[in-house]
Structure 1
Amino acid sequence: MNDIFVFSMLPWASKLLHRSHMLSKYFAKNGMNVYHVEKVNSFNPLKLGRYELDRGQVSVLKIYGLPYFKGVSKWVFRANDRFINSALKAFLENENILKASAVLSTPHWSFSAGRVENFKNGIFYDISDDYIAFAGNAKWKRLLSEYEKHAVEISVKVFATALPLLGKTGGKGILIENGVDLDSFETAEKIEFETEGKVIGFIGGLYSWIDYELVLKVAKANKGDLIVLVGPTDSKDEMDRLSSLENVLYLGPVDKNEIQDYYASFDIGIIPFLPESEYPRLKTVNSNKVYQYLYFGYPVVSTRFKQVEKLRDTILVSDSHEQFLANIEVAKKEAGECGVDLESISW
C-alpha cells in the first residue's frame, strides 16, 4: 500500500473543513495509507519534537512544536523545522516506512519535510490560498515567501486552486480547483428552521472579506425571511449588530461532519464578499461553498469576484448592493438549476 503524508493547515478534529481534510479523505478512499500531519502547539520542552499517532482510516500524526507567533521571530520557524524534522524521521524509522509521498498544504512545512529522505515518491505543494497575503507584518511576509519558494523548489508538481495562484508555481503548476465531498453531501438531512418565509443562508468564515453592510441590508429588506449565518468570526461587533435583528440567526461554527445538513437547508445561498478592489485576495479564491450551494440546486446570489464570473450563467452575480438585493428577489421566484457538472469537481 502506498504511504502518503498530508501536511495540514488545520487539525483533523477541527470543526472547519479545509482542503487538506478533503485530500486526506480522497487518498484514503482510493486505497492509500494516509497520515494527516498536524502541528500541536506546546511550550513543554519534554514534548517538543515528539509525536503521537492516532490510527484510523486516516491516521493522524501529531507533532509538537512552538506557536509561530505570526512570524515575529525567525528563530521560532527554524526551531520548528528541527522539531518537526526530528519527529518525522523518528516516526518513519519506527514504522519502517522507507518510501512515501508528501503533500504540503502550507509553506510552513517545506524545510522540515524537505529534509526527509524517505519522501522518495515525491513532494507536492498544494496552494489553496495566497498565504503571504495573509501575513500581517513585513517580517512574516518575508519568512513565508522564503518557505513558499522552497516548497516550490522541492516539489515535483505544484497544485493550485485558482489561475492567479499558478504564477507562484515556477512552471510546475497544475490547476486543481476545489470540489464537493459527494460522500458526505449525499447523506445530508434538511434542517427545518422556524420561518414562514425563505431561508437565506451563508456558510463560511465571517471575517474581513465579508461585506457586513450588505448582509445588514439583506436582512432589513427581507424581514419575512430568515437569514442564517454559519461560521467562525472575529468581528464580534458586526455580528452582534446583525444578531440583534429578529430575522437573523447566527449559529457560529458548525462541525464539518454536520455541515452538509446546513447546506441542504437553504432556499437561497448568498456570498456577500467585499469587492475585489477592497479585498484583492478574492482574486485568488476558489471557494468550496460555491459548489456546495450549487449541489443542492437552489439559487445562489453573489457579489462579483473572479471565481463566480465564469459561473454567471448559473449564479446571480451582483455589482452593487442594489443589484444584490434585486437578485435575491429574482432568486425567490426561481428554482436553482446547477449548470456545473458536479461529478467532475467532486472528491
Structure 2
Amino acid sequence: MIVLGMHPYPWHDDQISDTMRSMTKAFSGVRPVFINPSVGFSRAQKENYALRFRWTSVEDEAVHVCTRPLETVPASFGLGKVKHRWTLRQLNGFIASILGEDWRRESLLYVSSGGIAQSYETAEALGAPLMALDILDDNLAFPGISPREKAMLEAFFAALLARSAVATVVSDYLYQKLANQQPEKIKLLPNGVDVRRYSYCPDYSKEIAELRGLERPLIGFVGAITSWIDLELLLKIADRMAKGTLVMAGPVVQEAISRDLFARLTDHPRVAFTGPVPPQRVPHFLHQFDVLLLPRNYAPHSLASDPLKLYEYMATGKPVLSTALPSALRFRDAIYVGQGHEEVIALLEKALFDWSPERSQKCRDAVAAMTWENRAKTLLEWVEAAAPARRLH
C-alpha cells in the first residue's frame, strides 16, 4: 500500500489530523509506504530539514515514511523545476528498493484530491497499474486558483479519475457532482474517526492551561481557521453572548480569511484564540468545552466537505452545534443544525441547556461504526472487487 500524503501534511505534522495519515495507520494486512508531500522551501527551512540529494525513509510503527530530496532548495531562478524533475526521476527506483522490483504486481497506489498536481505527478512517475483515488473535497472550487491553474488541475484530475480502479468521495454533494463522470467507479465513503480516542476518560476532566481563567460556558471550535470558516457568524455569536467565551483552537491560515473580520474577532472580549492544538491533545480540549461548534460557511468547497471534526465531536457525546452542511444534516436527529446565522444563535441556548443523555448516546451511536479501520477495509474490498485478480489483504 503506497500512500501519497495529503498536501501539505507530512507524516510528522502535529497541527492537524487528516484522512490520508489516519487511513495509513488503519490498513490491516498490508505493508504501508507513506510518501510525504512536498512541504516547500520555507517550511523545510523553518523545521531544519537536512539538505539531501536522494529520497530517504524511516520506519514508524511499521510504516515506511519517505521524504523527498532537495526540500531545502528554493523554487526561484528555475531551481524549482530542476528539483521537481530530480525528485520524480528517483521515485520509481526508491520504491523498488523498499518493496522489490516486482512491487507493481502486489501494490496499490492510494492518492487523494488534497494536492491534485502531486497526486497526478506521483502516479505518472510510478506508472502504478492499480490505483485508488480518495476525493476529500471539491478542491477545484477552492478560492485563489487562477483560470490557467484550474484548467491544468482539471486535466490532472480527469486523468487520475480515468486511471483509478476505484474513486471514493466523502460526501453526497461530491457524489452527485461526480457520479455521472465515472458511474462504475465512484463510490460514497464518508470520513472516519478514532472512536475510542474521543470517548470520555477521567483525564479529560483535568484543567487545560490554555483555557484557565476563561469565563464559562466555553463554546469551542478545534480545527484550521481558514476559508471555509464563517467568521461573520462567529462575531455574531460573540456579540450575543451575555457570558462565557468563544474559544477558537487551531492554526490560522491568514491568507485565506478576511483580515478585518479576523482582527475584530481577536479584539473581541468574548473570543479567545489558543493557537494550534496537537492532535493528541484535541480530545482533552473537546471534553473541556460546553458546546462543540462547527461554524462552516456555504462556499462550494465547504458544502462538499465531510469534516473530520464533526465525527470527532460526535464521538465525545458532548453537545454539537453545526451550520447546515449536507454532511451535518445527515445527523440532525442527534446534533443541532442551524440553517442561517439567527437559527444557529437560537440553537446555541438549546445546546447549552437542553442536551440530554439520550441525545448524547445518539451521537455516539451514529459514529460508532465509522472507524478508520472500517473505512480502510471497505476501500480495499472495493478495489479488490474492481480488480478481482489482485488480493491486497
Structure-1-length-normalised TM-score: 0.85
The structure-2 alpha-carbon separation of the partners of 1:241 and 1:163, relative to structure 1 and needing over 3 Å to count, comes to: same
The structure-2 alpha-carbon separation of the partners of 1:95 and 1:211, relative to structure 1 and needing over 3 Å to count, comes to: closer
The structure-2 alpha-carbon separation of the partners of 1:184 and 1:124, relative to structure 1 and needing over 3 Å to count, comes to: same
Equivalent position amino acid for 2:91 in 1: L
In the alignment, which residue of structure 2 is the partner of 1:26?
A: 26
Q: Does 1:92 align with 2:99?
A: no
In the alignment, which residue of structure 1 is the partner of 2:187?
A: 174
User: For 2:51 and 2:165, how far apart are their aligned partners in 1?
Assistant: 33
Residue 116 (structure 1) shift: 2.3
Q: Which residue of 55, 63, 71 corresponds with 1:51?
A: 55
Equivalent position amino acid for 2:186 in 1: G
Percent identical residues: 24
Residues 38-77 of structure 1: matches in 2 within 5 Å?
38-40=36-38, 41=40, 50-57=54-61, 58-64=63-69
Q: Which has the higher contact order (CA 8 A, sep 6+)?
A: 2
Q: Does 1:213 align with 2:232?
A: yes
CA contact under 8 A between 1:7 and 1:103: conserved in structure 2?
yes
Q: Which residue of 333, 356, 367 corresponds with 1:313?
A: 333
The structure-2 alpha-carbon separation of the partners of 1:49 and 1:86, relative to structure 1 and needing over 3 Å to count, comes to: farther
Q: Does 1:123 align with 2:135?
A: no
Q: Does 1:302 align with 2:322?
A: yes
**Larger proportion of helix:** 2
In the alignment, which residue of structure 1 is the partner of 2:366?
A: 341
User: For 2:214 and 2:250, how far apart are their aligned partners in 1?
Assistant: 21
In the alignment, which residue of structure 1 is the partner of 2:170?
A: 161
Equivalent position amino acid for 2:192 in 1: G
User: For 2:173 and 2:52, how far apart are their aligned partners in 1?
Assistant: 37
Residue 66 (structure 1) shift: 7.5
The structure-2 alpha-carbon separation of the partners of 1:205 and 1:149, relative to structure 1 and needing over 3 Å to count, comes to: same
Residue 183 (structure 1) shift: 4.6
Residues 265-284 of structure 1: matches in 2 within 5 Å?
265-274=288-297, 276=298, 279-284=299-304
Residue 77 (structure 1) shift: 7.7
In the alignment, which residue of structure 1 is the partner of 2:386?
A: none
Structure-2-length-normalised TM-score: 0.76
User: For 1:25 and 1:183, how far apart are their aligned partners in 2?
Assistant: 15
SS of 1:95's equivalent?
Answer: helix
Q: Note the aligned Cα RMSD (angstroms).
A: 3.1
Residue 157 (structure 1) shift: 0.6
User: For 1:221 and 1:155, how far apart are their aligned partners in 2?
Assistant: 49
CA contact under 8 A between 1:268 and 1:301: conserved in structure 2?
yes
SS of 1:219's equivalent?
Answer: helix
Equivalent position amino acid for 1:116 in 2: L
Equivalent position amino acid for 1:258 in 2: R
Residue 245 (structure 1) shift: 2.7
* Unpaired segments ≥5 residues, structure 1: none
| 139-148 or 189-198, which deviates more | 189-198
Residue 78 (structure 1) shift: 10
**Larger proportion of strand:** 1
Residue 343 (structure 1) shift: 2.2
Residue 50 (structure 1) shift: 2.7
User: For 1:164 and 1:256, how far apart are their aligned partners in 2?
Assistant: 27
Residues 236-251 of structure 1: matches in 2 within 5 Å?
236-251=259-274
Residue 215 (structure 1) shift: 0.9
User: How many residues in Structure 1 have an aligned counterpart in Structure 2?
Assistant: 333
User: For 1:103 and 1:78, how far apart are their aligned partners in 2?
Assistant: 26
In the alignment, which residue of structure 2 is the partner of 1:6?
A: 3
* Unpaired segments ≥5 residues, structure 2: 373-393
User: For 1:139 and 1:175, how far apart are their aligned partners in 2?
Assistant: 30
